[in-house]
Chains A and B, each alone.
Chain A
Amino acid sequence: MFEAPPPPPPSPPGTEEEQPALRHLAGRRRGWRWGAIFWSALSGLLLMAFSYWAYSFVETLFAREDWLGWTALGLAFLAGIAAVAIVIREIWGLSRLEQIGTVRALAERTLRSDKQEDATETLRGLKALYGHRVDMARAIENLSYSQSEIIDPADRVRLAERALMTELDRDAAGLIARSSRRVSILTALTPAAALDVVFVAAQNLVMLRGLATLYGSRPHLLGTIRLAKMVLTHLAVTGSIAFSDTLLQHVIGRGLAGRLSARVGEGAVNGIMTARIGLTAIDVVRPLPFETLKRPRLSAIAGRIGDTVKDEED
Chain B
Amino acid sequence: MARSRFSRMADRGLIALTELAEYTGALGNPALRLGVTGLSRSGKTVFITALVHNLLHGGKLPLFDPFAERRITRAYLEPQPDDDVPRFSYEEHVEALLGPDRHWPNSTRRMSQLRLTIEYQPRSVLARKLGRNRLHIDIVDYPGEWLLDLPLMNMPYETWSSAMIKASHATGANTHGAWHEILQQADPLGPENETAAVRASEAFKQYLLACREDQIAMSFLPPGRFLMPGDLEGSPLLTFSPLNTPPNGGTPPKRSQWAMMARRYDAYVRNVVRPFYRDHFARLDRQIVLVDALAALNAGAAAVTDLGRALTDVLGSFRHGKGNPLTGIFGRRIDRIMIAATKADLLHHTSHDQLEAIAALLVEQSITRASFQGSEVDVTALAAIRATREADILEGGDKLPCIVGVPQAGEYLGHDRFDGLREAAIFPGDLPEDPNAALAGAAEGQVRFVRFRPPQLESGRWDLGASFPHIRLDRTLNFLLSDFLE
Q: How far is the CA of A250 from the CA of B9 in the complex (A)?
A: 55
Query: What are the residues of chain A within 8 A of B60 when measuring CB–CB?
Result: 146, 149
Count CB-based A-B contacts (< 8 Å): 24
- Determine the residue in chain B with the shortest Cβ distance to A116: B350
Query: What are the residues of chain B within 8 A of A148 when measuring CB–CB?
Result: 463
Q: How far is the CA of A292 from the CA of B68 in the complex (A)?
A: 11
Q: How far is the CA of A193 from the CA of B65 in the complex (A)?
A: 49
Is A159 part of the binding interface, using a Cβ–Cβ cutoff of 8 Å? yes
Q: How far is the CA of A127 from the CA of B62 in the complex (A)?
A: 19
Indicate if the CB atoms of B475 and A155 lie closer than 8 Å: yes
Is A145 part of the binding interface, using a Cβ–Cβ cutoff of 8 Å? yes
CB distance from B378 to the nearest CB of A (A): 11
Query: What are the residues of chain B within 8 A of A150 when measuring CB–CB?
Result: 349, 352, 390, 471-472
Can you list, as one digit per residue, whether each of B55-99 has a CB less than 8 Å from chain A (1) or not (0)?
Answer: 000001011010010000000000000000000000000000000
Indicate if the CB atoms of A151 and B63 lie closer than 8 Å: yes
Please tell me the size bucket of the interface on B: 10 to 19
Interface residues of A in 109-167 (CB under 8 A from B): 145-146, 148-152, 155, 158-159, 162
Indicate if the CB atoms of A159 and B472 lie closer than 8 Å: no
CB distance from A94 to the nearest CB of B (A): 35
Please tell me the size bucket of the interface on A: 10 to 19
CB distance from A166 to the nearest CB of B (A): 9
Q: How far is the CA of A145 from the CA of B63 in the complex (A)?
A: 13
Indicate if the CB atoms of B462 and A145 lie closer than 8 Å: yes
Q: How far is the CA of A162 from the CA of B67 in the complex (A)?
A: 12
Query: What are the residues of chain B within 8 A of A151 when measuring CB–CB?
Result: 63, 472
Indicate if the CB atoms of B63 and A155 lie closer than 8 Å: yes
Can you list, as one digit per residue, whether each of B465-486 has a CB less than 8 Å from chain A (1) or not (0)?
Answer: 0000001100100000000000
- Determine the residue in chain B with the shortest Cβ distance to A294: B123
Query: What are the residues of chain A within 8 A of B475 when measuring CB–CB?
Result: 152, 155
- Determine the residue in chain B with the shortest Cβ distance to A162: B68
- Determine the residue in chain A with the shortest Cβ distance to B475: A155
Indicate if the CB atoms of B472 and A152 lie closer than 8 Å: yes
Q: How far is the CA of A268 from the CA of B355 in the complex (A)?
A: 57
Query: What are the residues of chain A within 8 A of B68 when measuring CB–CB?
Result: 162
CB distance from A148 to the nearest CB of B (A): 6
Q: How far is the CA of A155 from the CA of B471 in the complex (A)?
A: 13
CB distance from A13 to the nearest CB of B (A): 11
- Determine the residue in chain B with the shortest Cβ distance to A293: B69
Indicate if the CB atoms of A158 and B472 lie closer than 8 Å: no
Query: What are the residues of chain B within 8 A of A146 when measuring CB–CB?
Result: 60, 62
Query: What are the residues of chain A within 8 A of B349 when measuring CB–CB?
Result: 150
| Known contacts A150-B349, A150-B352, A150-B472, A158 near B463 by CB under 8 Å | no
- Determine the residue in chain B with the shortest Cβ distance to A156: B63
Indicate if the CB atoms of A158 and B471 lie closer than 8 Å: no
CB distance from A159 to the nearest CB of B (A): 6
CB distance from B111 to the nearest CB of A (A): 33
Identify which of A146, A150, A155, A292 gathers the most chain B CB atoms within 10 Å of its CB: A150
Q: How far is the CA of A107 from the CA of B107 in the complex (A)?
A: 44
CB distance from A145 to the nearest CB of B (A): 7
Query: What are the residues of chain B within 8 A of A155 when measuring CB–CB?
Result: 63, 475
Q: How far is the CA of A148 from the CA of B349 in the complex (A)?
A: 12
Q: How far is the CA of A155 from the CA of B62 in the complex (A)?
A: 10
CB distance from A290 to the nearest CB of B (A): 14
Query: What are the residues of chain B within 8 A of A145 when measuring CB–CB?
Result: 462-463
| Known contacts A150-B352, A150-B471, A152-B472, A159 near B463 by CB under 8 Å | no
Contact of B65 among A149, A152, A292 (CB under 8 A): A292
Chain B residues in contact with chain A, CB under 8 A? 60, 62-63, 65, 68, 349, 352, 390, 462-463, 471-472, 475
Apart from A150-B349, A152-B475, 5 more pairs, CB < 8 Å: A145-B462, A148-B463, A150-B471, A150-B472, A155-B475
Chain A residues in contact with chain B, CB under 8 A? 145-146, 148-152, 155, 158-159, 162, 292
Which 8 A-B residue pairings sit nearest by Cβ, starting from the closest?
Answer: A150-B349, A150-B471, A146-B62, A159-B62, A155-B63, A162-B68, A148-B463, A155-B475
Listed A/B pairs (10) with beta-carbon separation below 8 Å? A146-B60, A146-B62, A148-B463, A149-B471, A150-B349, A151-B63, A152-B475, A155-B63, A159-B62, A159-B63
